[in-house]
């Protein structure tokens, strides 16, 4: 087996060899601890049938661990300076394709034609923290049905995504993700295992696709609009937030009132107390009563 990329000394050697300097604006914090990488691969339950998508391979620390365990790895890296570095560090592996592109601009359906065998598709990544949420939503909303994501992010964002109703961290992001996926925080990663060190600790979030969405809604777009509206001002009641989003005229008030009644939801509650089921009930009532 090749010497791990992810040790502090090998990482420094590679950076020096290629004269690489970090770009903070691209969220570049490289992992330098093989044990963490082994734990990530174990959490994702990757085997020789798994096809893996990686976002932001950096110098390939996680990529090589994925390649050792998986069938194939498809990695998207935005920084052109890293492309020759990756060609060098990953040269011992023949089951990796590195695509130089912004993950937010790629058509995942098209790119995954690279996978030459059917098998579960999993996204495994140490995400660039400045765009964690857009990346997650881009993947979840793509036509490609990713089976599982095991992704590192700021601990605080992982907490928000996996939060339950009635907690401070619960919000429209929790609902947007939990609608499609079962979310759990797998483990916490201290900031000391990165070069350079980020300011905060990280967490590995594991998301497993549900067979069907968590709740049945008649109009997904409107359901997500409703959940966003309910949290615009967290301290306001559901009623106030709904009036602000949907309009305050008589007809709108009557529509909202009837729908809340039908869904058996007290308008004086705050959005953060409503479960996914309650949001779905309210969304379906709003749709049914729409004029």
Which positions touch ligand SAM (CB under 6 A)? 26-31, 55-58, 61-62, 76-79, 82, 102-104, 126, 128, 131
Cβ closer to ligand SAM: 90 or 274? 90
Q: CB-based burial of residue 75 (10 Å sphere; 0-12 exposed, 13-18 middle, 19+ buried)?
A: buried
Please report how close the Cβ of residue 80 comes to ligand SAM at its closest, in angstroms: 10
Cβ closer to ligand SAM: 56 or 171? 56
> In whole angstroms, what is the distance from residue 109 CA to residue 128 CA?
22
Q: Which residues pair with 50 in a beta bridge?
A: none
Query: Among residues 216, 260, 263, 264, which one has the least CA distance to residue 238?
Result: 260
Cβ closer to ligand SAM: 53 or 282? 53
Residues 6+ apart with CB under 8 A from 208: 147, 148, 181, 182
Please report how close the Cβ of residue 137 comes to ligand SAM at its closest, in angstroms: 13
Please report how close the Cβ of residue 151 comes to ligand SAM at its closest, in angstroms: 11
Tokens (6 digits) for 118: 């059917």
Which three-class secondary structure state does DSSP give residue 53? strand
Q: Where would I find the beta strands (DSSP E) of the chain? A: 30-31, 51-55, 72-77, 96-100, 121-126, 148-154, 181-189, 194-195, 202-209
Q: Give the residue nearest to ligand SAM (CB).
A: 56
Cβ closer to ligand SAM: 10 or 253? 10
Please report how close the Cβ of residue 113 comes to ligand SAM at its closest, in angstroms: 19
Please report how close the Cβ of residue 211 comes to ligand SAM at its closest, in angstroms: 30
Cβ closer to ligand SAM: 131 or 242? 131
Please report how close the Cβ of residue 178 comes to ligand SAM at its closest, in angstroms: 24
* Contact assessment for residue 235 and residue 248, using Cβ atoms and an 8 Å cutoff: no
Cβ closer to ligand SAM: 101 or 261? 101
């Amino acid at each position: 087996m090749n010497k791990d990329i992810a040790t502090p000394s090998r990482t420094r050697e590679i950076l020096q060899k290629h004269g690489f300097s970090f770009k903070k604006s691209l969220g570049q914090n490289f992992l330098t601890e093989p044990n963490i990488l082994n734990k990530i691969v174990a959490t994702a339950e990757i085997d020789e049938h798994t096809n893996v998508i990686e976002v932001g391979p950096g110098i390939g620390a996680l990529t090589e661990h994925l390649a050792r365990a998986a069938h194939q790895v498809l990695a998207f890296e935005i920084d052109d300076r890293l492309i020759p570095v990756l060609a060098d560090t990953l040269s011992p592996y023949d089951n990796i394709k590195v695509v130089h592109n912004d993950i937010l601009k790629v058509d995942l359906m098209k790119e995954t034609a690279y996978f030459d065998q059917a098998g579960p598709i999993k996204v495994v990544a140490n995400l660039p923290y400045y765009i964690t949420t857009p990346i997650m939503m881009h993947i979840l909303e793509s036509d490609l049905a990713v089976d599982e994501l095991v992704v590192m992010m700021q601990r605080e964002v992982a907490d928000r995504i996996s939060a339950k109703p009635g907690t401070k961290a619960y919000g429209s992001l929790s609902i947007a993700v939990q609608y499609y996926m079962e979310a759990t925080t797998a483990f916490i990663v201290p900031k000391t295992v990165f070069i350079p060190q980020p300011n905060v600790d990280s967490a590995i979030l594991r998301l497993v696709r549900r067979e069907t969405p968590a709740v049945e809604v008649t109009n997904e777009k409107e359901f997500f609009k409703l959940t966003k509206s309910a949290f615009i001002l967290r301290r306001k009641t559901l009623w106030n937030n709904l009036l602000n989003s949907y309009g305050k005229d008589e007809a709108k008030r009557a529509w909202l009132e009837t729908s809340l009644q039908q869904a058996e939801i007290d308008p004086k509650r705050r959005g953060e107390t409503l479960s996914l089921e309650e949001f779905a009930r309210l969304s379906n009532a709003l749709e049914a009563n729409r004029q």
